[in-house]
Structure 1
Amino acid sequence: MTKNNIILNSTLSLIALVIILCLFGCASQKRPQGGPKDITPPKVLKMVPENYTTNFKSDKIEITFDEYFVIQNEAQEFSLTPEQEKLPQFKVNQKKLEVIFQDTLEQNTTYVINFGNGIVDINESNITKNLTYAFSTGPALDSLEISGHVFNSITGDSILNATVFIFPLERDTLLGKRRPSIFTSTDSSGNFKLKHLREGTYKLYAIKEDAQGDKIYQQRNDQIGFYKDSIVLKKNVSDIKIGIFKEAPENIRIVDQNLNNEGIINITFNMGLENPSLEILNNKELDDTKIIKYGLQKDSLKMWLKHYNFDTLQIALKQNQIAFDTIKIGTEKQPKFNQQVTFTDNIYTMEINPYIGLNLYSNFPIKDIDLKKINLKEDTVAITNYTIERIPGDPFTIHVKYPWKKKKTYWINMEENAITSIYDTKNKIVRKNFSLADVNNYGTYNLVVKIPDTTSYYILDILDERKKVVKSVVITKDTTVNLTNYRAEVYYTRITYDENKNGKWDTGSLKLKTIPEYIWNNPQDFMIRANWQQNMTFVIPPHPNRKDPETTGEKINPPN
């Protein structure tokens, strides 16, 4: 090959490579860079035939949007009612969605295509919510509606993006087995509207799923609410209120169990237990010396053992002294754990509560304290007239007792090896600084509670401004509830009507068709004022009248 031919071939190869790169560059569509974020979902520009068409004759529908879009979760989001044996095909063509029917449409029938949350734009996945297309093969379109509101049965808050659906009464057994074909989603105010319904008898439900829900109720993960009676739909029904709730599992189940790298046995249950306990069946020494701490809702526990010289432990888990399960926990020979002692505390925004003082909480049960290695300073001056106290029955907590003073800065220094755990492990250096919260930032409030019915039980919850329960009292008669030395801020009250008088709120049951115990969230808050004692009469309203049709959690207005 001549030199000129070599140069010519090299030049042609280079040109071909440039052309290929250009073609790939042109074919690769990238998301535009810069500019404000797109938050607008695709909007419908045109439907052919038009939405709400009667005497429908076409074999396909074209919907044109104002931007490019994709279909997501078609099988879960798209539905056609009445259903057909052969489902329509959904095809994306540029900015158009084509719906092509594969089966014959029945005469004089209203059809509704629900696109759910299945249409999203390409760039930001903004969802076109609750888009429907309705048409009739006859001269009239079904036009009945069911509308209402979905809320949380405990807090009363409106629920966004709950799925509300109906089943014809004769198909109600499909709940939890099959996705409904007639559904909608609630808006930011918790409101919903099911449209283009035909006369009939229906059961109405609402569920709140995880982000990737399939619209099929799963008791383990989902919340549910239901309209207790069947709806005989002959005219529009409105103002229905549905409270959703988490069902209590029918049986106690262990969700997780493990021996972690700190040597702590963790067990988690699918529900809170009543009077929980456990017994180590094959090692009496460890059973007699075990230390257990239960979670706040008693739906979990942590267990610390004296030693780990065992292959496998057999543990019986009990509720009300009755065993409901037996598990096995194994360990390696001579296991190695990270059991260094660390601490948390009750210091809040660099201050301690003047009515509580300073508490330090160890991650392991404490065996010994070397008081010589714990030092306290007031500003820069070392002080000695303080005491370190253990809390009876609590092997994790250290209480530092001292006459704390206002406008002083305190430093506590725990030297290395000051604390010894039951495993003979030690702490590293701990240094904390704090001051005393002003006593004038606390106040007292006395609620003089009046009940409407002396034969009933009520549960009064006091919630702080973060809606966290700070006090709960069972009320059986007129009484005074004292909130002594509480932080000055806004508080709220709510009442549970304890119908079975067991001292706790009971949820509902879909199987038994029972609704949760009614909770009244008082819309009126109250303020505990700093360095002040106040009194207020608090009248509990009567239980709502349940003679009208019921929903979960709240009285409803009768259907129109």
Structure 2
Amino acid sequence: MKLIIQILSIFIIILLYSCAKQSTPMGGDKDETPPKLLSIKPINESTNIEPSTIELEFDEYIKIDNPNKQIIVTPRINKDEMVVTAIKNKVVIKLNQELEEKTTYVFNFQKSIQDITESNPAENLKLVFSTGDEIDSLKFSGKVSYTFPPKEKFIKDVLIGLYEKNDTTDVLTASPYYIAAADSAGNFEITNIKVGEYRAYAWFDSNNSLKAEEKSEPYAFYGDTLAINQDVSGINFMLSKADISDLKINRSSTVGQNFDIVLSKYPTDIKIDQEDLGKKLYFRQNEKNIRFYHTDIKNDSIQAILSLKDSVGFKLDTLIYLTFEESDRNKEKLETTANSGTNFLKNIEAEFSFNKPIVDINLDSLYVKYDSASTIQIQREWIYLKDSTNHTKISIDIPLIDTLTNTTFTIYASDSTFKDVEGLYNDKKIEATYKKLNPETLVTSLDVTVETEFRPLLIQLLDKSGKVIKEVLKENTNKHSFVDFEAGTYNLRVIFDENKNKRWDPSNMRQNRQAEKVFYYKNPADTTSMDITIKAGWVNDIIVITEDKITEEIIKPDETEQIIPDGEENELN
């Protein structure tokens, strides 16, 4: 009897728990109806209030999804103090902080409030109230795009913020005063702004910090201060990465027989002024590390002038003392890579990269094989350094006679072919294969016209993986023809190369300098596609339209003065 009573008691407890537990009902049609708001406290657009708690009531049981990220509050409040809970069909928000006087607050709930059955979010849910007599109504709107479009076509986790003019913080140091999220197409709107002067930014916020991480997250800034006393529209932000941290030497020390300098960031340009450079003194760069080698000096030091430049244009010029010591430490093994798999039309253009500077090559064991028994001995004059100071990369241009009918050629280097600065050789054979293209299968010409007056233009042809196949700098014309390349699908990119350094340069917010503009060709038949499908034997003509003449005006308080945006939507039609 006792056993039966115990079993019944356990059953009743389980039944009561199941009834009390808030859960998704089983069976029935799928719930596709979002929660409907029944009431909200305080009432929307209330004035002269300073609530400590916000309550929302819905027509069904709801849940909260990541409120700290999803609920956007402007002007900014301390969201760490805010407590959000969902109880049955109600959401309760305890602010736990004082609000500013005579200020309009906006709570944009986005998709944070969902039903518990199918996670349908409440739609267009926003609360506006003011601690003063009036509701601020000014708007700031525009569009956000990426300078280099990511694989993901839709905009995600991109925020736009306004900082008060006198605020000492910015997008890299703190969250903004006003904030909004861009939609999947990149459009944004910040509402209920009070009259004032602001600085504007946009950024990709992957870690939900409400600010940009300068070394990892792309961002953009508007170059001028915006004086807002009317609606401002037509602002365009182009997101790109720009590390504006200081370029400096973090540490330097001897490592074995060599000398290392470790920098704070990757240098794009390195210049070394020392009389032994390329003769007895050599160096290699590995990301932020520069290692120096000397073939003669031991237990002594020499002076050298080091000139560095980073991607945003910061420079570092310094006198350094390079110290070289005797050491029993094991020397780093010589490693080699080659551009094997590269196709060619007339001459083989081979590139070999090494983890240490090369000082000698044994030509007797370096040759080209093109069938089981035929070889071509590589000559000294075919080998050269693209950068005379960098001995870690060599190029080999190999001319082939027209009578050769073979299509596959292999550069062969036996072990002990390459000697590095520390006296070590490659300990394994190296083979790199190159394929000769058939002229009949190549594209005759891709004729490009860029509709702009800007010069110079860096025009780049990219394969589907984003690799630059061909590029050219045009200083005096806006036309170019790419010839003799394989048929396929490509993208075309145009960079306004302001400093003529044949590469894209990012922005520098410290110097109020925008990033160099980048434009992609877009397929006229499908503006969502940048693909150019090119057939063999064809002459292809494309026209690249750059929007370097802004026609859209931005409203500014003084009607006699208009702001023209520094940024623009870089789309090619």
Q: Is 2:202 the partner of 1:207? A: yes
Q: Is 2:346 the partner of 1:355? A: yes
Distance 1:413 1:308 in 2: 34
Distance 1:200 1:487 in 2: 58
Match of 2:107 among 98, 110, 113: 113
The two structures have a TM-score, normalised by structure 1, of 0.68
Q: Is 2:330 the partner of 1:336? A: yes
Q: Is 2:139 the partner of 1:145? A: yes
Q: Which amino acid aligns with 2:307?
A: K
Distance 1:262 1:159 in 2: 51
Closer, same or farther: CA 458–385 of 1 in aligned 2, 3 Å = closer
Distance 1:326 1:97 in 2: 63
Distance 1:305 1:439 in 2: 48
Cα contact 2:55–2:93 (8 A) shared by 1: yes
Query: What does residue 459 of structure 1 align with?
Result: 457
Distance 1:308 1:67 in 2: 75
Alignment of 1:37-52 (within 5 A): 46=37, 48-49=39-40
Cα contact 2:223–2:512 (8 A) shared by 1: no
Distance 1:354 1:488 in 2: 14
Distance 1:337 1:112 in 2: 63
- 1:345-378 Cα shifts (integer Å, max 9, x gaps): 3314xxx323342625142444555566567654
Cα contact 1:362–1:397 (8 A) shared by 2: yes
Q: Which amino acid aligns with 2:461?
A: L
Cα contact 2:237–2:569 (8 A) shared by 1: no
Distance 2:261 2:148 in 1: 29
Q: Tell me how far 1:149 sits from its aligned partner.
A: 0.5
Query: What does residue 247 of structure 2 align with?
Result: 252
Distance 2:169 2:161 in 1: 12
- 1:33-67 Cα shifts (integer Å, max 9, x gaps): xxxxxxx9997554752686244887442466866
Closer, same or farther: CA 165–479 of 1 in aligned 2, 3 Å = closer
Q: Quick one: percent identity of the two aligned structures?
A: 18
Query: What does residue 530 of structure 1 align with?
Result: 536
- 1:70-120 Cα shifts (integer Å, max 9, x gaps): 65767x976464759995443455785421244677898643235689889
Structure 2 unmatched runs, 5+:
1-5, 24-30, 310-314, 524-530, 554-561
Distance 1:110 1:227 in 2: 27
Closer, same or farther: CA 119–253 of 1 in aligned 2, 3 Å = farther
Query: What does residue 425 of structure 2 align with?
Result: 425
Q: Is 2:389 the partner of 1:383? A: no
Count of aligned pairs:
508
Match of 2:238 among 226, 230, 243: 243
Closer, same or farther: CA 209–242 of 1 in aligned 2, 3 Å = closer
The two structures have a TM-score, normalised by structure 2, of 0.66
Alignment of 1:43-442 (within 5 A): 46=37, 48-49=39-40, 53-55=44-46, 59-62=53-56, 68-69=63-64, 71=66, 79=73, 81=75, 88-91=82-85, 93=87, 97-102=91-96, 110-114=104-108, 132-135=126-129, 142-153=136-147, 159-169=155-165, 171-176=166-171, 177-195=173-191, 197-203=192-198, 205-209=200-204, 211-217=206-212, 219=214, 222=217, 223-226=219-222, 228-234=224-230, 236-247=231-242, 249=244, 252-254=247-249, 270=265, 273=268, 276-279=270-273, 288-292=279-283, 305-306=294-295, 309-310=298-299, 316-319=305-308, 323-324=317-318, 326=320, 333-348=327-342, 352-357=343-348, 359=350, 361-363=352-354, 364-370=356-362, 373=365, 377-379=369-371, 381-387=372-378, 389=380, 390-393=382-385, 396-397=393-394, 399=396, 402-403=400-401, 414-422=413-421, 423-431=423-431, 435-442=435-442
Distance 2:38 2:208 in 1: 29
- 1:257-296 Cα shifts (integer Å, max 9, x gaps): 798899795755646555x31256xxx767842334669x
Cα contact 2:346–2:436 (8 A) shared by 1: no
Output the aligned Cα RMSD. Answer: 5.5
Q: Tell me how far 1:183 sits from its aligned partner.
A: 1.0
- 1:376-432 Cα shifts (integer Å, max 9, x gaps): 6545x3113443555123654364665595565556654443444342333213455
Q: Is 2:558 the partner of 1:554? A: no
Distance 1:205 1:331 in 2: 53
Structure 1 unmatched runs, 5+:
1-14, 33-39
1:184 is paired with a residue whose SS is strand
Closer, same or farther: CA 77–220 of 1 in aligned 2, 3 Å = farther
